[in-house]
Amino acid sequence: MARADRISAKLTAGLKPLVMNVVDESHQHAGHGGWREGGETHYRITIVADAFAGKSRLERHRLVNALLRDEFDTGLHALAIEAAAPGEAVRGL
């Protein structure tokens, strides 16, 4: 299973998002730190979930990162996260 599919599955199971978009941006980081041949190292995640209601930006990022800890352990290098609760403005969707 591709890393993007695993990320989507883990976030869906853990956060039950209303809307989610996972984009592999590894090609934009070729030659930079953490990049590996074959990609799957840098991702942009845009996600809207009830679980983010009342949480700070830092708390939201921690929730996402905790669900993806094993991906970081196996080669994921960086995430750009746009996390919102329902009704909040979201870029990237």
Q: What pLDDT does 68 receive?
A: 97
Map out the domains of the chain with their CATH numbers: 3-84 (3.30.300.90)
Q: What pLDDT does 1 receive?
A: 77
Let me know the angle formed at the C-alpha of 23 by 19 and 27, rounded to the nearest 5 degrees: 170
Please name which of 59, 2, 61, 57 lies closest in space to residue 26, comparing C-alpha atoms. 2
Residues 6+ apart with CB under 8 A from 55: 63, 85
User: Could you tell me the pTM of the whole model?
Assistant: 0.84
Tens digits of per-residue pLDDT, 23-40? Answer: 998 766 555 555 455 567
Dist. CA 64–CA 16, nearest whole Å: 12
User: Could you say which residues of the chain have pLDDT below 70?
Assistant: 27-39, 92-93
